[in-house]
Amino acid sequence: MSAAPFVDTIAEAYRAAAPALPGAEQRAVAARRQAAMEAFRRHGLPNHKLESWKFTSLSGLEKQAWSLPANEGGIDAARIEAAALVSADSYRLVFINGRLNAAASRLNGLPDGATLLPLAQAGDALADVLAGEGDDKAAILAELNAALASDGLVLRLQDGVVLDKPVEILAFGAPALVNLRHLVLLGRGAQATIVEGYRDSGIAAPGWTNIFCRIGLGEEARLTHVRVQAENPAAYHAALGKVSIGAGARYAHVSLQAGGNVARHELHAEFAGSGAEADLQGLVLARGTAHLDHTLYLHHAKPDCRSNQLFKHVVDDRGHAVFQGGIRVAPHAQKTDAQQLSRTLLLADRAQIDTKPELEILADDVKCSHGASIGDLDPQQVFYMKARGIGDDDARRLLLSGFAYEVIAAVPEGNLRDKVEALVEDWLKAGAA
């Protein structure tokens, strides 16, 4: 370990990588990246002194020197196919070492009015895509991402365009610092399904994946957004998503976190118009010493919107799950319907969950509720299964998959849901072994 402060080593990595980052030749882009790097350097990593980072520490990152991946790298085609979450009938962007792997990707055949690009090819739009989220330490990883983003997804649908196939982002962790930045903008009445998969490249060295994703939904737009984080057990993964939901639009999000050493998926969603809906569901599967965090912040800024959060956690060994669910209902956001439920099964004495609902309700005519349950498997259910001849391991596995199923069922039916279900089943089976 070098004696230089952590932020300086990152700044050094930035200097080394900057000339090869997309948009390096554009002055506005270069200036934006430079400013973002300066902001990160000022603030450093978010830490427990911040309310929203009380339960999750990234200090492990400071124990090693980080650099950006040296090259594009390659991954076995069979491994890519095995990790894919959507069948051949999809658009697909495969990122290896933070760069698009064109050979494994599929971007052709888009309907009129649809733009689908890797960020590195965003050209003049790059400066916009890298636009900042403000000088806020709690969101400083988004600035780090703006400084270092090497690629990502840019999807734009014009009004009324319904994307015929899901878009899959398939990213493989690298033993380095990888920054992907995604932008999804749906025009009025446009519809799409996007699937983000962060998978294990098979290289067990610790990596650090830092994701920023911005989503804007126009009026009456529909987006289904499935996210799967199943990186290797040494990996650090931090993601921040910002979602703006237009009037009458619907955002359905399902997040599965089943890998990584320390991983956090933070999502801020805001209703930008009335009559909109958001369904946010998540499943955490934590074993070993995995620390997996969902931090949500849902802003009911407009009246007549409905939101539902359902997050489930299965924690074994010395795993640690975190669920922070913030809901803010603005003073004029009457007729808000906001529900939140967190459910947790702790399977071992040293398994942990920190669950923190945070409701700030400033309107009076609203329906809001939240609840949290924490427990072990129900002994009555276990006995019922055993009384039918089912052994202890199988009974527990069946009950756990039953527990997880409610979230899995929120994934669109078909090939994608089957894959997500198989991933969950594999995780459960690995525990029984």
Q: Which residues bind another protein (CB under 8 A)?
A: 379-381, 383-392, 394-395, 398-399, 401-406
Q: What is the smallest separation between the CB atom of 403 and another protein, expressed in angstroms? A: 6
Q: What is the DSSP letter of 296?
A: E
Q: What is the smallest separation between the CB atom of 408 and another protein, expressed in angstroms? A: 9
Q: Which is nearer to another protein, 203 or 390 (CB)?
A: 390
Q: Are 357 and 340 in contact (CB under 8 A)?
A: yes
Q: What is the smallest separation between the CB atom of 308 and another protein, expressed in angstroms? A: 17
Give the integer Cα–Cα distance in Å for 356 and 359. 10
Record the tokens describing residue 335, joined without a space: 């007729």
Q: What is the smallest separation between the CB atom of 344 and another protein, expressed in angstroms? A: 15
Q: Which is nearer to another protein, 109 or 389 (CB)?
A: 389
Q: Which is nearer to another protein, 8 or 376 (CB)?
A: 376
Q: Which is nearer to another protein, 49 or 388 (CB)?
A: 388
Estimate the crossing angle of helix 392-408 against helix 415-432, to 10 degrees. Answer: 150
Q: What is the smallest separation between the CB atom of 228 and another protein, expressed in angstroms? A: 19
Give the integer Cα–Cα distance in Å for 82 and 386. 34
Give the integer Cα–Cα distance in Å for 284 and 325. 14
Q: Which is nearer to another protein, 348 or 384 (CB)?
A: 384
The separation between CA 284 and the C-alpha centre of its own chain, rounded to angstroms, equals 12
Give the integer Cα–Cα distance in Å for 112 and 123. 20
Q: Which is nearer to another protein, 153 or 420 (CB)?
A: 420
Record the tokens describing residue 19, joined without a space: 């000339």
Give the integer Cα–Cα distance in Å for 328 and 297. 8
Q: What is the smallest separation between the CB atom of 361 and another protein, expressed in angstroms? A: 30
Record the tokens describing residue 337, joined without a space: 């319907």
Record the tokens describing residue 42, joined without a space: 């000022």
Write the single-letter amino acid at 13: A
